[in-house]
Chains A and B, each alone.
Chain A
Amino acid sequence: MPAPIRLRELIRTIRTARTQAEEREMIQKECAAIRSSFREEDNTYRCRNVAKLLYMHMLGYPAHFGQLECLKLIASQKFTDKRIGYLGAMLLLDERQDVHLLMTNCIKNDLNHSTQYVQGLALCTLGCMGSSEMCRDLAGEVEKLLKTSNSYLRKKAALCAVHVIRKVPELMEMFLPATKNLLSEKNHGVLHTSVVLLTEMCERSPDMLAHFRKLVPQLVRILKNLIMSGYSPEHDVSGISDPFLQVRILRLLRILGKSDDDSSEAMNDILAQVATNTETSKNVGNAILYETVLTIMDIKSESGLRVLAINILGRFLLNNDKNIRYVALTSLLKTVQTDHNAVQRHRSTIVDCLKDLDVSIKRRAMELSFALVNGNNIRGMMKELLYFLDSCDPEFKADCASGVFLAAEKYAPSKRWHIDTIMRVLTTAGSYVRDDSVPNLIQLITNSVEMHAYTVQRLYKALLDDISQQPLVQVASWCIGEYGDLLVSGQCEEEEPIQVTEDEVLDVLEGLLVSNLSTPVTRGYSLTAIMKLSTRFSSVNRIKKVVSIYGSSIDVELQQRAVEYNALFKKYDHMRPALLERMPIMEKTATNGPTEIVQTNGETEPSVVESKHPPPVTQPTNQANDLLDLLGGNDVVPVIQTTMPTKPASAGGELLDLLGDLSLSGGPAPAPAPSVPTSQPSFLLDGLSSQPLFNDIAAAGIPPMTAYNKNGLKIDFTFERANPNPNIAVITIHASNSTEADMTEFVFQAAVPKTFQLQLLSPSSNVVPALNQGTVTQVIRVLNPQKQQLRMRIKLTYTHKGSAVQDLSEVNNFPPQSWQ
């Protein structure tokens, strides 16, 4: 058999192939030759063949039949063989195949070889792909080599030890003695790898961390020497001496200084020195500055140093280099939680980054902008963010829209602004809005009672312009179905009312039904909307006709709806008005971002979610009936209050973290801890009631009253009138506690007579602090369409001095203005 062709020869040949097929043919031919050569157990050419196999493997062809050959090469005496053998092992073998364990003995022998380069090969292979079993078997050898005076081996052993610890953390202890003098080395390679090893150990074990804290002075000294020392040609990078080592030391200092005052103080000076003296003209200097800033922000540094760090980040933001800007935005995103005010100072620069051409920078800037939105800057920020939404790439639109909704919900300065913002998002990025934000938006609109006319008018106008964006169309059809009467009567107060006839409205809705642009879900929305208008409009016949046509629709959902609506007309016409009447105000049980499904605790539901059940429009009435039954039919209808403590304790930053989960920290708030707002932007634990939704409602000067005063618990009611709908009274309860002990697990429940509707929003807290140190507030909204005298039965439960207390009481002394 002729000698197998050489590696370079093969490469050259394969590169001449003009097509993929030609290449494949050559490769197959060569593989066949190599296979027969392997079968002949030829020692001479094994190395050459494996090398060729590795080349073909890189081109993407299978090479597993060479695995055992690699092992044979490793076992060979020849250095050339070992070199290729170990390379082949690292490329072709991995811990999933049992075959790799056969390497263990070879590696063990080679770790004790007389030639350091052979030892080096073994250490390298073990450190790159050693499995847990191999690591367990060979850890002892590695530990031995960690103590050798040969710096070439010592540095490799250190990183090999890091790998062993990563694979088998329990073995960490055995390397502890060997770390004793690692930092006294002069050799930079050993120093660097030692710092990496120490970092790994400190990250994994608090005990190790405590143990190694004593190294801080030594690390500071090494770092200082690096900075102060003169030019060292072998370690110099653009005037900086060994930046790799400097960065690793800074990183280790970060870990050692975190939550430890003494260590933090010991490193204060050197950090200040690095921060002020590092040359920033080249990337390498900025790399060190970046690491320094991260360290300063993480340890217990003094405030001057922190300000210095943030300012460095601010300067980074203005740097021409895109990488630096990107890195600055990333770091600011990390620090915005803890140093919010400092980051706010750079807000305008961050907002400018939204206009950057670079995609990565834009994304970071968007995330950071959302994190910086608060009640003070909401108008300005929203303008910028909406502008960004208009002009950004599609990949951003969904996230941006969600972020806008979230921010608007939290900080909307007025209802009208909120509705306008939603409209803007729907019309500009409507097709990218997430599907589950439609129910959220509908709920929001329902709750903004006095804005109904304005909202439906704007949505109608938007529909006239464009019916292609499904979320917009869905919300619009729902609103028209609900508030079509307001639209036609031209009642809008906020802007010039438009003149529109019933027929025009029905034209639009029917247009949605037939349009190719409408999805089945949208069609469902519009059919139900048309149906609802049958009780609000007078052109019932037209509606009847539409509904009966769709009784034979191919779409099963539409068909079902149409058939049922038809039945309503024919057989249950007497029930129709009641079924299709105006939706009551929906409760929100938990604050969810637009990206989560709204749980409306079953009482009310948006009338058109994809469901195969009978029109959910009937549900509210059914639910009300059920409750009455549960009570045994007395004339008081209790309302299930919003579930209390399982609210999101959403700090502003958390909720706006688009990348992470919208973390609803479940579980009741711990009993003794009063729900004091943290240093986060002033966002309290509860969702809606903290919103200044009620700020623009004129407090109509109704006098407050004391509803309950017993055993030290006093509950006052204050009133607001929700203009312009005079049927809704907004009552805020203020619970205070004059005893010496806190009242915990405080729950306030209320029930009103049948002719009223009551909505209880989430309380500010469930702990009423002792000695009148604070109050628990909760908002009650009462709908009183029949203007009857308001009566209320309240039930209070709380834990006081270890025992549970429960009390019932009637409240009859409402001032007449509250219900007239």
Chain B
Amino acid sequence: MIRFLLLFSRQGKLRLQKWFTPLSDREKKKVIRDMTTLVLPRPPRSSNFLQWRDLKIVYKRYASLYFCVGLEEQDNELLALEVLHRYVELLDKYFGNVCELDIIFNFEKAYFILDEFLLGGEVLETSKFAVGATMEEADTLQETMEEYMSKRAY
């Protein structure tokens, strides 16, 4: 299973964090620090894999963002690259030519999309279209401002 998924910028600023195992805040901060320290200085033409503690780390850079996952021993690293790529494609489809700013200003949407693609550290949906369709439908359920104001919460 995937233990965590992190998105961070070239300056090491965190843009997204998804944890699939329970960790304390301190531990999470340590992981983030370690990942940025390990991944950012890598020369451009190195392999996308490295070993960290007992996990396999797979990372890929898309424009100004680094996508980084921590895998367990029996997971397939090459496939993880495909998983990252698929997530970027989903973001791209939803936002239309996605860039880092989209993810910064609409981070909650990025999370919603991620939650339709991965669950519990495993791939949930393998169809390219299903996730987009789900998001569209779910977005319609989100109340407009008027609906939101008039509807009772409880």
Contact = CB atoms under 8 A, between A and B. Distances in A.
B79 A323 contact: no
6 contacts: A44-B149, A78-B143, A117-B137, A152-B134, A189-B125, A291-B76
Interface in A50-68: 51, 54-55, 58-60
- List 9 tightest A-B contacts by C-beta distance, closest first: A287-B78, A322-B47, A159-B119, A127-B120, A163-B120, A79-B141, A189-B125, A287-B79, A43-B153
Interface string A281-306: 00110110011000000000000000
Interface centre among B48, B50, B74, B79, by most A CB within 10 Å?
Answer: B79
B123 A283 contact: no
A529 B134 CA distance: 79
SS class of chain B's interface: helix, strand, loop or mixed?
mixed
A393 B108 CA distance: 43
Interface in A307-348: 322-327
Given A58-B14, A287-B82, A360 B46 contact: yes
B154 to A, nearest CB: 7
B51 to A, nearest CB: 7
Contacts of B98: none
A284 B111 CA distance: 25
A189 B124 contact: yes
Nearest to A44: B149
B127 interface: yes
Contact of A323 (B14, B81, B120, B137): B81
Contacts of A357: 45-46
A357 B86 CA distance: 29
A256 to B, nearest CB: 15
Contacts of A7: 108
Contacts of B128: 233-236
B142 A83 contact: yes
Contacts of A131: 22
Given A83-B112, A155-B124, A322-B45, A115 B141 contact: yes
A318 B106 CA distance: 43
Contacts of A286: 78
A163 B46 CA distance: 34
Contacts of A237: 82, 86
Contacts of A12: 105
Interface in B53-105: 74, 76-79, 81-83, 86, 104-105
Given A44-B149, A234-B130, A358-B45, 19 more contacts: A11-B105, A44-B148, A51-B108, A58-B107, A59-B14, A79-B141, A83-B112, A83-B142, A96-B22, A124-B119, A128-B20, A128-B119, A156-B119, A192-B126, A234-B129, A235-B127, A291-B79, A322-B46, A357-B45
Given A155-B124, A159-B119, A244-B83, A78 B151 contact: yes
B107 A55 contact: yes
B141 A77 contact: no
A195 B37 CA distance: 36
A76 B153 contact: yes
Contacts of B34: none
Given A55-B107, A283-B81, A360-B47, A159 B17 contact: no
A251 B122 CA distance: 14
Contacts of B119: 123-124, 127-128, 156, 159-160, 193
Contacts of A234: 127-130
Contacts of A51: 108
Contacts of B15: 58
A192 B123 CA distance: 8
B118 to A, nearest CB: 9
A247 B115 CA distance: 21
A81 B141 CA distance: 11
Contact of B22 (A94, A115, A325): A94
Contacts of B76: 247, 251, 287, 290-291
Interface string B1-38: 00000000000001111011011100001000000000
B79 A77 contact: no
A242 B104 contact: no
A188 B127 contact: yes
Contact of A95 (B14, B22, B78): B22
Nearest to B119: A159
Interface residues of A, number: 78
A166 B122 CA distance: 13
Contacts of B153: 43, 76-78, 81
A200 to B, nearest CB: 9
A148 B57 CA distance: 36
Interface string A595-616: 0000000000000000000000
Contacts of A360: 46-47, 49-51
Interface string A125-139: 001110100000000
Contacts of B115: 124, 128
A127 B78 CA distance: 25
A453 interface: no
A327 B77 contact: yes
A694 to B, nearest CB: 41
A669 B47 CA distance: 44
A87 B108 contact: yes
Given A128-B20, A291-B79, A80 B143 contact: yes
A222 to B, nearest CB: 13
B108 A58 contact: no
B43 to A, nearest CB: 8
Given A60-B14, A80-B143, A162-B120, A287 B81 contact: yes
A361 B47 contact: yes
A243 interface: yes
Contact of A247 (B79, B116, B120): B79
A238 to B, nearest CB: 9
B95 to A, nearest CB: 14
Interface in A154-184: 155-156, 159-160, 162-163, 166
B82 A284 contact: yes
- Greatest chain A CB density within 10 A among B48, B76, B105 is at B76
A75 interface: yes
Interface in A356-397: 357-361, 363
B122 A243 contact: no
A76 B154 contact: yes
Contact of B47 (A11, A15, A325): A325
A472 interface: no
A152 B77 CA distance: 27
A22 to B, nearest CB: 16
A771 to B, nearest CB: 47
Contacts of A59: 14
Contacts of B19: 129
A159 B124 contact: yes
A504 to B, nearest CB: 48
A479 interface: no
B79 A235 contact: no
Nearest to B125: A189
A326 B47 contact: yes
A84 interface: yes
A43 B149 CA distance: 9
Contacts of B124: 155-156, 159, 189, 192-193
A488 interface: no
Contacts of A127: 119-120
A84 B108 contact: yes
A715 interface: no
Nearest to B58: A323
A453 B148 CA distance: 92
Interface string A224-260: 0000000001111100001111010001000000000
Contacts of B23: 94
Nearest to A161: B120
A155 B112 CA distance: 17
Given A11-B105, A235-B128, A77 B151 contact: yes
A530 interface: no
Nearest to B13: A59
B106 to A, nearest CB: 8
